[in-house]
Amino acid sequence: MKNLNLLLFTLLFSSMVMAQQYDVAILNGRVMDPETMYDNIANVGVKDGRIAIITKDNITGKETIDATGLVVAPGFIDGHQHCIETYAYRLMVRDGRTTIMDLEVGASGPNVDAFYKDREGKSPVNFGISVAHEFARATVLDGFTEWKHYNTPDGFVSRAQAQGWSKTRPTLEQGNQILANIDEGLRQGALGIGSTVGYMREGVSSREIFELQKLGGKYGRYIAMHFRNTPGNDVQEVSGIQEMLANAAALGSPAIACHFNNPGYNMVHELLVRMREKGNNVWGEVYPYNAGSTTLNAMFLEPEIWVDALGYKYEETLKDVETGEFYTVESRKEMLKKEPTRPIIVYKMPEEAIVDWLKMKGVAIGSDGMPIIPDDGLEWDTPYEDFPNTHPRFAGSFAKVLRLARENNIPLMQAVSMTSYNYAKPLGEMGLKSMQVRGRMQEGMVADITMFDPETVTDHATYAKGTLPSTGIPHVIVNGIIVMRDSEPLKRFDAGQPIRFEVQGKGKFEPLTIEGWTQKFYAVPEDFSGTSGLDCCDFGQEGHEH
């Protein structure tokens, strides 16, 4: 009798243990891993923030998600989201995004640490940032030091109030200050350097870009670039990326071609593929829309560039986000006086091209979502319909990729790869540990998981209403924590983690002593010893010898 009791107790106890084998059990989903190409119906057990098991066997968990009919994919990684703010998070998870990073613009160097601290324990998604070339220039050339938010309307104040950052060739001393500002950001753990040189054009010398990439290369980190001539035609766009890639090849430093969904994209893609084949860690990203978004006073929209040089008409390409009306030369001039940083939509590619972009191997998705202007009073739970309008890529980019893949017979694994792995892999190759364990559905990886219905997943955001949430993505897990269940985002601000390099102590920045820094055409520094320098030392990683 006693033994029977013990037996019953043992059975009961072990079944209780079984019931809590995993924190979350995801059952009967189609598990897809873009790295191993695993594509199978299986159960996934999540424990302590990691994918503990992927198995055909029955498993149980404290929480159970029935994923029948759903794809169980690596959480979507958006490497190009300019709005990493509380009010954005619900829309991000509705679109399946588990990591959002602003790699193109970034934060001011001394503010990188504050960017991360401000978001710790306050975000359901992972977050990361570059150090900003633009803000380093605004600090040195315009005297800006206050950055309330890293890149919200307050951050963009430099674009409205001053143009030194855009148009000025720095002296050697100022150039060193710019580089020192960026160096500080890298020491504070920024993922790489963001450069919006396309908003500066010839205000920035080739030498300055080269030195930026050299500095990034010292840390093994990328430059993410809005190319010098973007937007442009199929010659200017390509030459803009060739500048970056030539430097990357010469210096052995990583590089990201930001939103190359522009004229000449197939050429850009071939350059990236061939350079990767030769061992260079360079990659590119696109957003699935044929119109871009920027502010009305963007330098490349000046009539001399946009109309005269590129041959566009304002009436066909420049649309006001709020009114939905196209600008004319006159109405643009009037609005510039009233509201220079007014958000606009810029048409630049035919609609058919989008599907073509989604077929490109190795390319990642970066939404280029912009901060909402104005964002006063926007909170975590502000209803989506109360948001002011913005470009639809803010809310719909990732679901749109999946919808277009379905409608155009693009293999689902290609779409899953673009939305996650293609950003994680090259960032991981830079030595970024947090990205070596994301973007993959494998045992031992971090449990950032997005579950979507391949038959129904779709975007809803349009140019008329850019903040409508995507649907068909019912469940999202970040670091093992369920942050969305049955399409209802949960306020799990404990889930998101920083995507960041380790902080390094204050270092001594080595100033450059290059003659000809400000010259329009690069003069060979006297101390440059030509090809013999390449023979004798690792020129690329050490910078100039003096």
Cβ at position 363, least distance to Zn ion in Å: 16
Cβ at position 393, least distance to Zn ion in Å: 11
Q: Which stretch, 128-136, 205-213, 219-227, 336-344, contacts Zn ion (CB under 5 A)?
A: 219-227
Cβ at position 292, least distance to Zn ion in Å: 8
Looking at the Cβ atoms of 226 and 500, the one nearer to Zn ion is 226
**Three-state secondary structure call for residue 160:** helix
H or E element, residue 425: helix 422-429
Asked whether position 82 contacts Zn ion by CB under 5 A, the answer is: no
H or E element, residue 114: helix 112-119
Cβ at position 441, least distance to Zn ion in Å: 31
Q: Extract the tokens encoding 502.
A: 């380790």
Peptide bond into 374 cis (omega under 30): yes
Binding mask of the shown chain, residues 151 to 190, with x at each position contacting Zn ion by CB under 5 A = ----------------------------------------
Q: Which stretch, 21-29, 153-161, 176-184, 225-233, contacts Zn ion (CB under 5 A)?
A: 225-233
Looking at the Cβ atoms of 54 and 301, the one nearer to Zn ion is 301
Q: Which stretch, 1-9, 223-231, 300-308, 532-540, contacts Zn ion (CB under 5 A)?
A: 223-231
Q: Which stretch, 27-35, 221-229, 309-317, 380-388, contacts Zn ion (CB under 5 A)?
A: 221-229
Q: Which stretch, 89-97, 218-226, 328-336, 340-348, contacts Zn ion (CB under 5 A)?
A: 218-226
**DSSP single-letter state for residue 299:** G
Looking at the Cβ atoms of 30 and 82, the one nearer to Zn ion is 82
Looking at the Cβ atoms of 198 and 480, the one nearer to Zn ion is 198
Cβ at position 152, least distance to Zn ion in Å: 16
Looking at the Cβ atoms of 33 and 102, the one nearer to Zn ion is 102
Asked whether position 391 contacts Zn ion by CB under 5 A, the answer is: no
Q: Which of 77, 70, 66, 79 is nearest to 32 (CA)?
A: 70
Cβ at position 104, least distance to Zn ion in Å: 5
- Alpha-helical segments (H) within 170-224: 172-187, 206-218
Asked whether position 226 contacts Zn ion by CB under 5 A, the answer is: yes
Q: CA 329: distance to chain centroid?
A: 33
Q: With contact defined as beta carbons under 8 Å apart, do 494 and 478 qualify?
A: no
Cβ at position 50, least distance to Zn ion in Å: 35
User: Length of the chain in residues, anyone?
Assistant: 546
Looking at the Cβ atoms of 394 and 517, the one nearer to Zn ion is 394
Asked whether position 80 contacts Zn ion by CB under 5 A, the answer is: no
- d(CA 23, CA 379) in angstroms, rounded, equals 30
Q: Extract the tokens encoding 85.
A: 């703010």
Contacts of 286 (CB under 8 A, 6+ apart): 259, 260, 261, 265, 357, 358, 360, 363, 364, 365, 366
Q: Which stretch, 61-69, 222-230, 239-247, 295-303, contacts Zn ion (CB under 5 A)?
A: 222-230
Asked whether position 97 contacts Zn ion by CB under 5 A, the answer is: no
Cβ at position 196, least distance to Zn ion in Å: 6
Looking at the Cβ atoms of 134 and 184, the one nearer to Zn ion is 134
H or E element, residue 18: helix 2-19
Check residue 508 and give left, alpha or beta (phi > 0: left; psi -120 to 50: alpha).
beta
- d(CA 205, CA 505) in angstroms, rounded, equals 30
- d(CA 293, CA 347) in angstroms, rounded, equals 9
Cβ at position 443, least distance to Zn ion in Å: 37
H or E element, residue 257: strand 255-257
Looking at the Cβ atoms of 133 and 226, the one nearer to Zn ion is 226
Looking at the Cβ atoms of 127 and 199, the one nearer to Zn ion is 199
Q: CA 439: distance to chain centroid?
A: 14
Asked whether position 425 contacts Zn ion by CB under 5 A, the answer is: no
Q: With contact defined as beta carbons under 8 Å apart, do 362 and 283 qualify?
A: yes
- d(CA 318, CA 325) in angstroms, rounded, equals 8
Strands (E), 373-439: none
CB 506: neighbour CB atoms within 10 A?
Answer: 8
Contacts of 492 (CB under 8 A, 6+ apart): 124, 478, 481, 482, 483
Using CB under 5 A as the binding criterion, the count of chain residues that bind Zn ion stands at 1
Looking at the Cβ atoms of 67 and 296, the one nearer to Zn ion is 296
Name the residue number minimizing CB distance to Zn ion.
226
- d(CA 98, CA 77) in angstroms, rounded, equals 6
Q: With contact defined as beta carbons under 8 Å apart, do 159 and 135 qualify?
A: no
CB 502: neighbour CB atoms within 10 A?
Answer: 7
Looking at the Cβ atoms of 163 and 458, the one nearer to Zn ion is 163
Looking at the Cβ atoms of 125 and 298, the one nearer to Zn ion is 298
Looking at the Cβ atoms of 230 and 450, the one nearer to Zn ion is 230
Cβ at position 259, least distance to Zn ion in Å: 6
Cβ at position 102, least distance to Zn ion in Å: 11
Cβ at position 197, least distance to Zn ion in Å: 10
Q: Which stretch, 153-161, 224-232, 261-269, 313-321, contacts Zn ion (CB under 5 A)?
A: 224-232
Q: Which stretch, 164-172, 220-228, 373-381, 453-461, contacts Zn ion (CB under 5 A)?
A: 220-228
**Three-state secondary structure call for residue 255:** strand
Q: Extract the tokens encoding 485.
A: 């269940």
Cβ at position 226, least distance to Zn ion in Å: 4
Q: What does each C-alpha distance from 522 to 223, 252, 515 come to in angstroms?
A: 21, 21, 9
**Site for Zn ion, rule CB under 5 A:** 226
